A and B are shown apart, each in its own frame.
Chain A
């Protein structure tokens, strides 16, 4: 089989990640500084790398998987046995799931705005300028929004760790092996099967894992920052207080 250059990523695919980006980056306004860094890392080092580079590396994963046999069906079966789900699909699912908690925050902000508008209207200030101001003002991360934000961060960390663990379970050691030995029906005996571009795949797997780790660290830093900020604010406003009183205040706000 002649070696072919990797295929260009599908333009419709790029467009759909672009529309996903438009949806998620709307959340940017209500994030902390670390949250915005996380979002940029997500888009530049993960989604862009996935679409522009990784997808062409894995593009010929099935057509380039060759087994040392002419038995029809042996290739398909061995490929399916060793690669239950492709890296690319796992990363796509990981990115989609990791980005969705941010939408919880967006929904909460929209709900708060709706409530503020109602209050304004009831108090008689239904000036269109005031209502426009509600729409464009930046929400402070306090009260119930603080809890939504922190919970969304915990979900993000949870999804990231789960996917890293899944990767480790399905592809032990995160390394792409060059040769696999397979003896599922209909392969006549134990046949040697060769994976296409194993080194390039290992390089990209390690890269995506490293960026995943960086994202986890950023999320943990953001949680610590938010907790520290809230505790500092509480100390400043209430003077000497116990941690219990602080937690009670947070729960009731």
Chain B
């Protein structure tokens, strides 16, 4: 999973965010992506190879593993991070569209008034590219929608994790009687305590991110109302 590519995309978003947005981005990369790659992936690395069932019946372990772990935690978290990172790109796309439109206007305007020198035109285009747009008007709505989508995706994925795994606790022993297992067999999950610790950690950070998003949304609404 090439997280640096995502990082490069999102660093561009940083410029047009509020301060809370910048804090959210740092929390996302340090406490979620980094922890996922550096720690969590090694904990779940042997989840299938070390899933042992008390039977010699071929195929039983595969079937039981598949029944109790339809989607691995790691994949759910990767998808969650990808979905949660995409709404900010809406904001970048809108800013790029605005810049493009203003550039066209500037070039048309300078074409009509021929006394504008080349150098001042270049300077104007440069300032256009580097300026920071105030969050007002259509950009405000785009930003607010991106925050709403972020909240929806975070909540959705947390709920999905809760539903698929019946809570945030990883059991040590699961009992399985799918065909071809002969009877009810005991199957043992590898590193359940460590997995529970990391699930609780990632869920907590997810909730913190949701709180940051809600705070940012209220701040935007308050700013618009006072204006």
Contacts and interface: CB of A to CB of B under 8 A. Distances in A.
Interface of A: 12-13, 15-17, 19-20, 23, 62-63, 71-73, 75-77, 79-80, 83-86, 88-89, 92-93, 96, 100, 103, 107, 111, 185-186
A19 B33 CA distance: 11
Contact of B191 (A71, A73, A79): A79
B31 interface: yes
13 contacts: A12-B1, A16-B3, A20-B30, A23-B29, A62-B50, A72-B55, A73-B187, A76-B172, A76-B191, A79-B191, A80-B172, A92-B38, A96-B31
A72 B53 contact: yes
B39 interface: yes
Given A19-B7, A76-B190, A92-B39, A85 B197 contact: yes
A103 B26 contact: yes
Interface residues of B, number: 37
Quick one: which of B22, B46, B197 has the most chain A CB within 10 A? B197
A96 B198 CA distance: 14
Nearest to B54: A72
Contacts of B26: 103
Contacts of A86: 43, 194
B43 to A, nearest CB: 7
A126 to B, nearest CB: 11
B217 interface: no
B4 A15 contact: yes
Contacts of B194: 80, 83-86, 89
Interface of B: 1, 3-4, 7, 19, 22-23, 26, 29-31, 34-35, 37-39, 42-43, 46, 50, 52-55, 172-173, 186-194, 197-198
B35 A96 contact: yes
Consensus secondary structure, chain A interface: helix
A77 B186 CA distance: 12
Contacts of A185: 173
A107 B42 CA distance: 32
Nearest to B127: A128
A222 B20 CA distance: 29
Contacts of A89: 39, 42-43, 194, 198
Contact of B34 (A16, A63, A80, A84): A16
The 10 closest A-B pairs by CB, nearest first: A73-B188, A84-B193, A76-B188, A72-B54, A89-B39, A92-B39, A16-B37, A72-B52, A92-B38, A85-B194
B191 A62 contact: yes
A148 B75 CA distance: 38
B42 A88 contact: yes
A111 B197 CA distance: 35
Given A15-B4, A107-B23, 19 more contacts: A16-B3, A16-B37, A16-B38, A17-B38, A19-B4, A20-B30, A72-B52, A72-B54, A72-B55, A73-B186, A76-B50, A77-B172, A80-B190, A80-B192, A84-B193, A92-B39, A96-B38, A107-B22, A185-B173
A129 to B, nearest CB: 14
B212 to A, nearest CB: 14
A16 to B, nearest CB: 5
A186 B192 contact: no
A241 to B, nearest CB: 36
A186 B54 contact: yes
B112 to A, nearest CB: 27
A84 B192 CA distance: 8
A62 B44 CA distance: 12
A32 to B, nearest CB: 23
